[in-house]
Copies of this chain bind each other. A is one copy, B any other.
Amino acid sequence: MTTEGTSFVHLPDAWYAVAIAKTLRSTPRSSTLFGQPIVTFRDASGRPSTLLDRCPHRNVPLSLGRVVEGRLECAYHGWQFDGDGTCQVVPGLCRVATSRGRTATAFETREQQGLIWVWGVPNAIPTTDPPSFPHVGEAGYHTVYDVVEAQGTLHAAAENALDVPHTSFLHRGLFRGGKARNEIEVVVRRFSDRCEAEYIGEPRPSGLVGRLLAPGGGEVIHFDRFILPCLVQVEYRLSERSHLFVNTALTPLSRDRTRLFAVIAFRLPLPGFLVAPLVRPIARAIFAQDARILRAQHETISRFGGEQFHSTEVDALGPHILHLMRQAAKGGSSTATEEPYTRRFTLLT
């Protein structure tokens, strides 16, 4: 199967993560979404708001300013804006400041499960709630947050995050890649709003770590999942007490740059305070290798003026993710009751 063109798909009618909630304090935070500069800040009550990062007066980025009495103040002339974009102060002006033409463009903003979410269309009323993450905040689970950035489309980052075969090569040593070769049965299912790959027969990791995490041995339960338009989930269940659930919310900063907000929930036989400090460094070491490849992939695609991919059956989810995104862009989401598409193959690892 060959894919051509570019894998960027514009799906603005959705929630996208813009910040880890606890890192957003009184300083305005600049970002981009689909290439548009935006600025997120907390008002006097701590409620987050997001505006287009451009002062309506002289087009200076509002993110250069500061928050004054819960309003975002432009650094150039001191105009002040409410969270909904209304201009409340024009210094020097003797008349009322509020005026339609002076209103900054605003985006709906929500705080949920430790992330700040922004609705992708300005001045619009969201039709859904931000996605919720399984097991985050659940008794017995620890949660670690992290954010990283990749060059390339949201699709390229999502495929990479859910791809198993590359782990033995790119992450040799850190991840898979031992001598013993196993045959794993993979079941791929595509529903109307998501697709998943279930790995059946994957053995427990060998060595000390495997024995600590799953003292009884046995097989791993492993699911990889993509949920429209931006959510990626990787789930490993090694035993009743060992459960790792990696949620990643992908944000299309632009057509070719993607930010990944990882929310990692886990329950282990080991004490959380021992494990938690290791999660972020290990995840970052793995991601640094992915980021290098994604950048090189992006540069090559740019140089050739488009993607020219050739997939095999072991590319479990990438083509399905693109299919789902393109279907969604056409607006034709199928009904939820529809029978899922299913295929099976054997993966050699």
Contact = CB atoms under 8 A, between A and B. Distances in A.
A307 interface: yes
A58 B309 contact: yes
Contacts of A299: 61
Given A37-B300, A56-B310, A59-B304, 11 more contacts: A54-B300, A58-B309, A59-B297, A60-B293, A60-B300, A64-B293, A77-B165, A77-B169, A91-B165, A92-B165, A101-B310
Given A76-B297, A348-B94, A311 B57 contact: yes
| Copies per complex of this chain | 3
A34 to B, nearest CB: 12
B169 A75 contact: yes
A301 B345 CA distance: 52
B101 A2 contact: yes
A304 B59 CA distance: 9
A31 interface: no
Interface string A277-320: 00000000000000001001101110110011111111000000
B348 A76 contact: no
Contact of A60 (B76, B296, B313): B296
B61 A300 contact: yes
Interface size class of A (residues with CB under 8 A): 35 or more
Interface of A: 2, 35, 37, 53-54, 56-61, 64, 73-78, 90-95, 101-102, 163-166, 168-170, 183, 293, 296-297, 299-301, 303-304, 307-314, 345-349
A296 B64 contact: yes
A263 B297 CA distance: 36
Given A37-B303, A58-B297, A170 B94 contact: no
A221 to B, nearest CB: 20
A85 to B, nearest CB: 13
A57 B348 contact: no
